[in-house]
Chains A and B, each alone.
Chain A
Amino acid sequence: MTTFVFVTLLCVSMLGYALNRQAATKLRASGTRLHSVPGYHGLYSLLSTVVPVVVLIVLWLVLQGPLIDRFTMSGLPAGSLDEFDAGGRQLILTEIKSISRGRIFGNPEAWKVDAADRYVRMHVVAGWLLLGIVIVASLGIVGLARTRVAADFRARHGVERITSGLMLFCSTIAIFTTLGIIAALLFESIRFFERVPITEFFFGLNWEPQIPLREDQIAAEGAFGWIPVFLGTLVITAVALFLAVPVGLLSAIYLNEFAPSRLRAFAKPVLEILAGVPTVVYGFFAILVVAPAIRSFGASLGIPVSPNTALAAGSVMGIMLIPFISSFTDDALSAVPKSLRDGALALGATRAETVLNVLFPAAIPGIVGGILLAISRAIGETMIVVMAAGLIASLTINPLDSVTTVTVQIVTLLIGDTSFDNPKTLAAFALGMMLFVVTLIINVFALRIVRKYREAYD
């Protein structure tokens, strides 16, 4: 149905284009001097039809689902919902929907089948209604636009105004996305904090996100303190940086200063490949190769290593970050003015001294910015830790132990069918908010450092 609606709109607006263009051409053929060429008259009709009607269709489609759900529920026979709470009502709605799709399990009550019929009917009616409205609206606008074709009508200005508006809208999408993220996280987190005290989340030292299945279940109260989870994230991040920072820095210095040009031409694409490998591949690499290797190495030294050791996830994450840090360092070193390098070399400094004592200090802000961005990526990195790190939050900083991270908890809490009204699901959003805030602070800080530094030399 939706496709059909869009096709209809397309046809009508093309018709408008052709009508207006033809009218303008005829006008011009009769010897009148037009302000805009006929093509713009056509485009004017096309754009002024498509833009408002598409907005209408999208709004309709967004609102249709929830409204029909509400009508379905309110149309149920009186009293049939009295014994259910919010979750139970949600389940009934889901059941009605699955009946309406023909998937019937067991023998549903008659009123549910009725409701499913009504649900289907309402969808059909809504579809036809939308089609009717779209046809009427688009034909109306086409007719209106047709009447505006005249010699002194500034169709080009109209078209340019509309495209400017569209482009402005495109650029606000970024703002809307940010607002959407903040709204979603904040809204769900507030619902979480209604169920779990805010102090427990921020200062609690235990993370056991369970919910009681029955009222009288013993020892099933979950604990939602985020400190051990965040500590685990920091442990893995530290391991990753411990590997990535020296290797990244040194390889950038080598490529920038010492490497023969052929090695350089070869190494850059190789590092780009390393940077382009999806993280799920790194995760599999961690469980297939790195974790067994670390374990058997530990066993040969007689050190017990946990199977989900933070070392495995952290070091693979470090490998992932090498190209990131190396390219930032490379950029920062290349951005140092040539005069500094020439001056140092002219004074008799060796190349190593030039790099370490002159270029490196000058490039420090850019490098620090890059490392900060790498930290934010390590904190937000998901797939490697989901596959290779542990699930149980323990308050430890020993990288041989199994630790869990914020992202692991978010994914494990939300994988599978989840409803939106239990603390377990909502806890993921609270963790997500903390993740967003932490990475945002680091990013803003890093971007500011990088930008400030660039301005200093440009």
Chain B
Amino acid sequence: MADATAGTDQNPKTGSTADAVRASLARRNRKQRTVQVLGLGAISFAFLMLFILIASLVSSGYHAFTQTHITLEVFIDPEEVPLERLPRGGFDDVLEASLASVLEGVDPNDRATMRALGGLLSNGAQFRLRDRVVESPDLIGQTVTMTVPVSDPYDQLNKGLIDRETPEQHRRLKDFEIGWFDRLNASNAISKPLNTGLISNPDSRFPELAGLKGALIGSFWALFVCFLISFPLGIGAAIYLEEFAPKNKFSDFVEVNINNLAAVPSVVFGLLALAVFIGWFGLPRSAPFVGGMTLALMTMPTIIIATRAALKAVPPSIREAALGVGASKHQVVFGHVLPLAMPGILTGTIIGLAQALGETAPLLLIGMNAFITSAPSGPFDSATALPTQIFIWADSPERGFVSRTSAAILVLLGFLITMNAISIYLRNRFERNW
């Protein structure tokens, strides 16, 4: 190149091309730079969006990993909680009285103030006290120490999410309520431990009590059923198509079907499940079993495609050697090819299950978005799943659910990252290059 340009310098007639090239070089380089800058901009935009997504979830979600609790000395007044009326009784009055005894200057006979004071505690506090008393009725007349969650507005206040500078009428807590909380805080009654309830509580209408237990168990059952159905069926279909299927119209038809199913919108699978599983077969609504079956239909194409790729990657020499020593076609496949392809199949399966774990729309249609306050005890009980629980909480108007939703999303993303990490580990650990 350099030689050519040097030669053309002395001869203007033949140098016309080189001149034209040189003249346009600046423009062409500029264009090159533009494309480069645009490309870098595009990729940075994608990174930025991912960063904002994660950052916004973490910044709003980390609050939900702690929960403000209050420790109270509760005198279980036999007048409010008579033994013979158990499990009924004025447990809320007992709790309010104990709060009033800590805070001086609260008149125990002023009912409006007492009610406001009761609003400081979570609605679940009285039930927790009730359960304790019902369990051992001899507590009546004694003083017990209890640590219970505070209600959502005070939790928000403690986490600094309620701005004290806001004019009182726009604030969710009035000045006197903030005053109570500050006095309690000064007397070391307030603590902010790790929020184990996020994992161990079932769903609730009150954000401070709501947890993911039911959703986690529901998701587990749905994924378990999904795995039990899609793994054997997917592998069977893949082996047949890859190793045994004759090249004919039928095999082509199956293949076209699988490829199309992989691209059918997920909500259509929900319609299928609603009409066929629930409408025609009469299976129960909201059951993880039905959810698992639906997810299995969606996961199967993924598993089939991954299995076929893994089978294809086993070199023909293995098959030929096995056939050469007299194995039948089935013995070759099940004794040699399939075990060698297993790491690849497992990797694909885990990725497919991770997709199924995040799938929401079909589960909504079969009713797994119901409000259920107890964890399911089996795959046929009504339950929610992790993604549908996120959807329910995202729809809830209470402020406290915003951070709960983000926290639930972080839990979901944690599971997805773990599953993907396992599949990457499997791939690196067991994958062989032939």
Interface residues of A (CB under 8 A from B): 62, 65-66, 69, 156, 159-160, 163-164, 166-175, 177-178, 180-181, 183-185, 187-188, 246-251, 253-255, 257-259, 267, 270-271, 273-274, 276-285, 287-289, 319, 322-323, 326, 348, 350-353, 355-356, 373, 376-377, 379-383, 386-387, 407, 410-411, 414-415, 417, 420, 428-429, 432, 435-436, 439-440, 443-444, 447
The answer to whether residues A171 and B60 also contact, given A184-B272, A251-B46 and a CB cut-off of 8 A, is: no
Q: Are B360 and A279 in contact (CB under 8 A)?
A: yes
- A sample of 14 more A-B contacts (CB under 8 A), given A280-B394, A348-B21, A351-B32, is A167-B237, A170-B235, A171-B245, A173-B237, A178-B257, A247-B42, A250-B41, A257-B39, A280-B409, A288-B60, A383-B361, A414-B274, A435-B265, A436-B268
Q: Are A285 and B53 in contact (CB under 8 A)?
A: yes
Q: Are B46 and A387 in contact (CB under 8 A)?
A: no
The answer to whether residues A250 and B361 also contact, given A174-B300, A278-B387, A440-B260 and a CB cut-off of 8 A, is: no
CB neighbours of B264 from chain A (8 A): 181, 380, 436, 439-440, 443
Q: Tell yes or no: B184 within 8 A of A by CB.
A: no
B385-431 with Cβ < 8 A to chain A: 387, 390-391, 394-395, 402, 405-406, 409, 412-413, 416, 420
**Contact of B267 (CB < 8 Å), options: A172, A180, A255, A432:** A432
Q: Tell yes or no: B194 within 8 A of A by CB.
A: no
The smallest C-beta distance from B351 to any residue of chain A, in angstroms, reads 9
The smallest C-beta distance from B362 to any residue of chain A, in angstroms, reads 9
List the B residue with the shortest CB-CB distance to A188. B275
**Contact of A167 (CB < 8 Å), options: B31, B244, B297:** B244
B364-390 with Cβ < 8 A to chain A: 364-365, 367, 369, 387, 390
Q: Once bound together, how far apart are the Cα atoms of A299 and B270, in whole Å?
A: 39
Q: Which of B43, B235, B276, B412 has the most CB of A within 10 A?
A: B43
Q: Tell yes or no: B108 within 8 A of A by CB.
A: no
List the B residue with the shortest CB-CB distance to A319. B49
**Interface pairs (27), CB distance under 8 Å:** A160-B329, A164-B330, A169-B236, A170-B234, A174-B261, A181-B264, A184-B276, A251-B46, A258-B36, A279-B358, A280-B387, A281-B53, A281-B413, A350-B28, A352-B34, A356-B35, A382-B360, A387-B391, A387-B395, A407-B265, A411-B267, A414-B274, A415-B364, A428-B271, A435-B267, A436-B264, A439-B268
CB neighbours of A173 from chain B (8 A): 233, 237, 300
Q: Tell yes or no: B77 within 8 A of A by CB.
A: no
CB neighbours of B40 from chain A (8 A): 254, 258
CB neighbours of B53 from chain A (8 A): 277, 281-282, 285, 289, 319
Q: Tell yes or no: B241 within 8 A of A by CB.
A: yes
Q: Tell yes or no: B354 within 8 A of A by CB.
A: yes
The smallest C-beta distance from B74 to any residue of chain A, in angstroms, reads 35
Q: Are A250 and B390 in contact (CB under 8 A)?
A: no
Q: Tell yes or no: B45 within 8 A of A by CB.
A: yes
Q: Once bound together, how far apart are the Cα atoms of A428 and B365, in whole Å?
A: 11
Q: Are A380 and B42 in contact (CB under 8 A)?
A: no
Q: Tell yes or no: B253 within 8 A of A by CB.
A: yes
Q: Once bound together, how far apart are the Cα atoms of A300 and B29, in whole Å?
A: 39
Q: Are B240 and A171 in contact (CB under 8 A)?
A: yes
The answer to whether residues A258 and B39 also contact, given A66-B282, A171-B237, A181-B268 and a CB cut-off of 8 A, is: yes
Q: Tell yes or no: B258 within 8 A of A by CB.
A: yes
Interface size class of B (residues with CB under 8 A): 35 or more
CB neighbours of A66 from chain B (8 A): 281-282
**Contact of A287 (CB < 8 Å), options: B253, B394, B413:** B394
**Contact of A435 (CB < 8 Å), options: B268, B416, B420:** B268
Q: Are B265 and A381 in contact (CB under 8 A)?
A: yes
The smallest C-beta distance from B55 to any residue of chain A, in angstroms, reads 9
CB neighbours of B354 from chain A (8 A): 276
Q: Are A288 and B56 in contact (CB under 8 A)?
A: yes
Q: Once bound together, how far apart are the Cα atoms of A167 and B237, in whole Å?
A: 6
CB neighbours of B21 from chain A (8 A): 348
Provide the B33-70 mask, 1 if CB < 8 A to any CB of A, else 0: 01110111111011101101100110010000000000
Q: Once bound together, how far apart are the Cα atoms of A263 and B420, in whole Å?
A: 21
The smallest C-beta distance from B255 to any residue of chain A, in angstroms, reads 9
Q: Once bound together, how far apart are the Cα atoms of A246 and B35, in whole Å?
A: 12
The answer to whether residues A410 and B36 also contact, given A62-B281, A254-B42, A280-B391 and a CB cut-off of 8 A, is: no
Q: Are B240 and A352 in contact (CB under 8 A)?
A: no
CB neighbours of B195 from chain A (8 A): none
The answer to whether residues A174 and B239 also contact, given A246-B42, A411-B365, A415-B369 and a CB cut-off of 8 A, is: no
Q: Are A177 and B266 in contact (CB under 8 A)?
A: no
Q: Once bound together, how far apart are the Cα atoms of A33 and B36, in whole Å?
A: 75
Q: Once bound together, how far apart are the Cα atoms of A66 and B278, in whole Å?
A: 11
Q: Are B391 and A251 in contact (CB under 8 A)?
A: no
CB neighbours of A351 from chain B (8 A): 32
List the A residue with the shortest CB-CB distance to B364. A411
Q: Are B394 and A439 in contact (CB under 8 A)?
A: no
Provide the B223-262 mask, 1 if CB < 8 A to any CB of A, else 0: 0000000001111110111001100000001100111110
CB neighbours of A185 from chain B (8 A): 268, 271-272, 275
7 tightest A-B CB contacts, nearest first:
A380-B265, A254-B39, A278-B358, A170-B236, A184-B275, A250-B42, A167-B240
The smallest C-beta distance from B260 to any residue of chain A, in angstroms, reads 6
Q: Are B358 and A267 in contact (CB under 8 A)?
A: no
Q: Tell yes or no: B80 within 8 A of A by CB.
A: no
Q: Are B254 and A171 in contact (CB under 8 A)?
A: yes
Q: Once bound together, how far apart are the Cα atoms of A420 and B412, in whole Å?
A: 33
